[in-house]
Amino acid sequence: MLLFFSTPLLTLIFATAFLVIWSRDRGRMENLALSIGWLLLTSGFSISLLSPDHWGRAIPAITHVPYALSAVAMSWGVLTRIGVKPPIVAQLWIAFTGFATLMLVQNVGNSIVADIYITNLTCGAMMMLTAQLFAQGAGRDLVERFLLVMLVLTAAQFFIRPVVSFMFDGPIAAESYRQSVYYFAFNWVFAFGSVLFGLAQISGSVKDQVTALQDKTSRDDLSGLLLRGEFEARVEAALARANVEGVNTALVIGDIDHFKQVNDIWGHLAGDAAIAAFGKMTEAMIRSSDIAGRVGGEEFCILVWNADEDIAAGLAERLRIRTSSLEIGNTSLDVRLTASFGVAQQEKGEGYRGIFARADSALYAAKQAGRNYVSRDSVVSKSASQANAKSAVQHQDRVSQNGGSPEKISLNDDLTPNSERYAG
C-alpha cells in the first residue's frame, strides 16, 4: 500500500517543484504548464487509490480525464520550452475521442480491460506525438537527449505495459482491479518512471535558467542583442553544424543609414534610442532558431537558420520596411530612420569569415545603390563577374588595336573634370 501512495506523493512533489520554478520566472509559462500536468496526474492517481470498490468501471472513466489533460499540459510545457508549437487541437481531439469510446464500452461486459486499453492508447498517442515533435525541434546536448529518451519511453510504456500485464491477468473484473498484476505494474512503472521523467524535465528547466543567466551577460545593454564576441562564437558553431547536417543558412548584415547625422542633429540620446529600437525590432522579427547580434556601432548581423538567400532577403526586406516606421524612444523629436542590408548564403564548407565578407560586400553595394536597400551577394557577384569579363574583352581589343602592344595609360586618365582624382 505504501508503494501505491508513493506515486501521487512523487507527482505532487514535482508539481510543487515546477510551481516554485515558475514563481521565480513567471515569464516561463512552460513551467506552470508542467506544474499543472503533474498536479492533474496527482489527482488521477488519488482518485484511483481512494475511490470505493463499488464504483467499478466508473473509476477508469473518471481518471481518464485528468490523465489525458495531464498529457496535454505536459506536451504544451515540453514543446513550448524549445519553441515548438504544441498540437493542442489534435491532442484535445485524441483525448475527446478516447473518452467518447470509453463511454461506449462502459456497459459491454464486466471486464475492465477495454477501459484500460483505451486510456493507455489515448495517453500513449499524445505522448508519442509530443516525442516526435520534440525530436524535430530540440537541441543535441545531453539534457535534451535525456528528455527525448524519457518522452519516448513514457509513450512506449503506455502501449507495452497493458499487453504484458494482461498476459498474466487475463480478463480483469472491475471489482478485482486493485488486486491485478496490471495495477501493481501500473504503480511500479509510474513510481519509477515519474522520477526519471520529472528529473529530465527539471534538468531542462535548470539548463534554461543557466542559459538565460549566461545570455544576459553576453548581450549588449543598448540593443538587447548578442555582443560581437558571443555572436561570432555562436554563428561559427551553427555554421559548422550546418555544414555537417547539410542545412541551408544565410547571413544578413544591416546598417542604419546616416547614423552619424542622427547623433549630430538630434543628439546621442536619440542615437541610443535608435539602436535600442532597431535591436528590439530585430529580436521580435526573427525566429528562435536564428542568431542576432550587434557587431558594430550601428551595424547588426543575423544568422538565418535553415534558410536560403531568398528567405533571408525576404527577412531583410521586412526589416527594411519596418525600420522606416520605427518610433524612436519617448522623444518628441520626429526621428526617421532607414537601413541598408547585405545578404549572403553559406557556401559548402564555408566558415564565418567567408560568409561575413560576402554579406559585407553586398551591404556596401546596397549603400552604393542609394541606401535604404537590400542587396544580395548572388547579384553582386554576378555583376562583378560580368564587369570583369567585359573589362578583359575591352583590354584585349585595345591590345589588338595597338598591334599587339600594351596600351599606354596616362596618369591623369582617372581625374574628374575638375581635376580631382576619383576616390576608390
What are the pLDDT digits (tens) for 164-205? Answer: 766 766 676 666 666 676 677 666 777 778 888 899 999 988
Residue 42: what residue type? T
Grid coordinates belonging to 181: 498484476
Q: What is the CA radius of gyration of the chain?
A: 31
| 339 to 187, 321, 370: CA distances (angstroms) | 62, 9, 11
Question: Which residues lie closer than 8 Å to 205 by C-beta, 6 or more apart?
Answer: 18, 21, 28, 31, 34, 81
All three cell numbers of 214, joined, read: 549566461
Residue 112 dihedral angles phi and psi, to the nearest 5°: -95, 0
- The Cα 166–Cα 181 span in angstroms is 8
Strand partners, 375: 342
Model confidence pLDDT, tens digit, residues 76-94? 999 998 888 999 999 999 9
Closest CA to 313 of 377, 360, 372: 377
Q: Name 207's Cβ contacts closer than 8 Å, sequence gap at least 6.
A: 141, 143
Q: Residue 411 carries which DSSP code? A: T
For residue 406, the model assigns a pLDDT of: 45
- Lowest average pLDDT, out of 107-116, 240-249, 277-286, 364-373, goes to 107-116
Per-position DSSP letters for 20-74, written without gaps between them: HHHHH-TT-HHHHHHHHHHHHHHHHHHHHHHS-GGGTTHHHHHHHHHHHHHHHHH
pLDDT in tens, 23-70: 988 888 999 999 999 999 999 988 888 888 778 788 888 999 999 999
DSSP state of 179: G
Phi then psi dihedrals of residue 421, to 5 deg: -70, 140
Instruction: List, in sequence order, every beta strand (DSSP E) within 321-403.
Output: 339-345, 374-376
* Mean pLDDT over the full length of the chain: 83
Instruction: State residue 106 phi and psi, 5-degree precision.
Output: -60, -35
* Amino acid 253: pLDDT: 97
User: What is the spatial distance between Cα 54 and Cα 56, in angstroms, rounded to a whole number?
Assistant: 5
Q: Are strands 339-345 and 374-376 parallel, antiparallel or unpaired?
A: parallel
Q: What is the pLDDT of residues 230-287, one digit of tens each?
A: 999 999 999 999 999 999 999 999 999 999 888 888 888 888 989 999 999 999 999 9
**In whole angstroms, what is the distance from residue 244 CA to residue 235 CA?**
14
Residue 394 has pLDDT above 60, yes or no: no
The residue among 343, 338, 310, 334 whose CA lies nearest residue 322 is 338
* Banded pLDDT at 208 (limits 50, 70, 90): confident
Q: Whole-model pTM?
A: 0.61
